[in-house]
Structure 1
Amino acid sequence: VAGFLLAVLIAFVSGLPGLFLVFLFALLGSAASRIPGGTNHESRSAAHAFANLGVPALCACGSLFTQIDAPWRSMIAAALAFGLSDTLATEFGTRYGGAPRSVVTGKRVPAGTNGGVTFTGSLAGIAGALFLALAAQGARLLPDESWPSVAAAGIAGNLVDSILGATIESRGLIGNHAVNFLAALSATGILLLFR
């Protein structure tokens, strides 16, 4: 229910292109999580929905209050590009990536360790961000040819997610939902630097 309400808010501001992106994000993320050989996933709660769609929804609110569309729509796309990048990196890295290494120290860590990255997972994450950014451009959510900035912001947000996971999440200071929310927020901020 929470995810549906957030998607409605995003669609209200960004129209069918925004709704299409949310649908694409949910469809591909769900499909990736069902590939055999992965770990068990926790149930999809309201907190999970807000971690994934909260930042795009906040950007939609920003557009409503400022009456300026272009930067907010790009920020919605960047947050969703991060979300798909993170999901695909996790799902493919866990299944096909082999032994992960800490994004901070470079040392091998057990599979499932917060902040652990693999080459396969990283490639999947990059592909996810690129795909969603291109989809946003094709759906005419983005101004001009700004998809490279959106993709770069999504990839950078994924890196932030891994760093936060290896540092503050691994110490128990915050949980995974908070890490995802902060990383999505960072993706939108990084996008503004690229503009």
Structure 2
Amino acid sequence: MWLSYGLLTLILAAGMVYSISARKLTVMAALTGAAVAILVFTGAGFTGLAMMTTFFILGSAATSVQSKTKDDLNADQKGGRTTGQVLANAGTAALCGVLILVLPAHADILQLMMAASFASATADTLSSELGMVYGKRFFNIITLKPDTRGLDGVVSAEGTLIGITGSVVIAVVYAIGMGWTTNLIWIIVAGTLGNLTDSVLGAVLERKGLINNNTVNFLNTLMAALFMGVFYIVFN
């Protein structure tokens, strides 16, 4: 137990130093991320931490791709991601970690819900950041009519496929740590549905200024977790 938390401390310290020095996160965001990571680790061990780390690495890499182009579209925030953005993307996972502590008998379903939330967060980040770079045709997810790249609720086939790949990566990380079962498929499906929910909310609510991007991101991870919960109850 103490050895595990000692290793966790070293990992978090290294991650915080890198995130702040590389301007991936603000100081407060790095501290918040560390707190979230502790909750995730407490609920799902090193598998949970591996999923969170994978999301951070892939998301940071995707954000860096042709960042100048995305700066022009107001899609990338300089100076590092904020506390609000950390909670928006990983808050649902942290909540699952807390619930596992309170309801240990339901750890199996809650760990899957955590995985689905990370799958959705990863899918959303990759599809948004890389879809703007590699997408060829952009359309409104509600009307299915051509629309402007970078606007809320606008997607591309390329970005959507990249997002699904992100969900697959998180599902594989979960399976490596927790076992290869059909739950891997449901994590991918739940993550993809969460990502699509993000686009719908963006088109319907965010574009009208009714909610902001952080709210959209939190809701997409929450919905992915809920989808996974339903899949677990129905198919297990």
| TM-score normalised over the length of structure 2 | 0.79
Any gaps of 5 or more consecutive residues in structure 2?
A: 1-30
Amino acid in structure 2 at the alignment position of 1:93: G
Amino acid in structure 2 at the alignment position of 1:183: N
Q: Which has the higher contact order (CA 8 A, sep 6+)?
A: 1
Note the C-alpha offset of 1:145: 3.5
Is the CA contact 1:55–1:185 (under 8 Å) kept in the aligned structure 2?
yes
1:12 aligns with 2:50: no
- Give me the whole-angstrom Cα distance separating, in 1, the residues matched to 2:125 and 2:202: 14
Q: CA RMSD in A?
A: 1.3
Which of 51, 54, 62 aligns to 1:24? It is 54
Amino acid in structure 2 at the alignment position of 1:46: T
1:165 aligns with 2:195: no
Is the CA contact 2:43–2:96 (under 8 Å) kept in the aligned structure 1?
no
1:35 aligns with 2:65: yes
Residue aligning to 1:80: 118
Residue aligning to 2:215: 178
Note the C-alpha offset of 1:99: 3.8
| TM-score normalised over the length of structure 1 | 0.95
Is the CA contact 2:117–2:221 (under 8 Å) kept in the aligned structure 1?
yes
Is the CA contact 1:137–1:145 (under 8 Å) kept in the aligned structure 2?
no
Greater than 2 Å deviation, 4+ residue runs: 142-145
Larger Rg: 2
- Give me the whole-angstrom Cα distance separating, in 2, the residues matched to 1:125 and 1:6: 23
Q: Percent identity, aligned pairs only?
A: 33
1:156 aligns with 2:193: yes
Instruction: Give the count of matched residue pairs.
Output: 194
**Stretch deviating more after TM superposition (94-103 or 33-42):** 33-42
Residue aligning to 2:174: 136
- Give me the whole-angstrom Cα distance separating, in 2, the residues matched to 1:131 and 1:27: 12
Q: Which has the higher helix share?
A: 2
Residue aligning to 1:114: 152
Residue 70 of structure 2 aligns to a residue whose secondary structure is coil
1:124 aligns with 2:162: yes
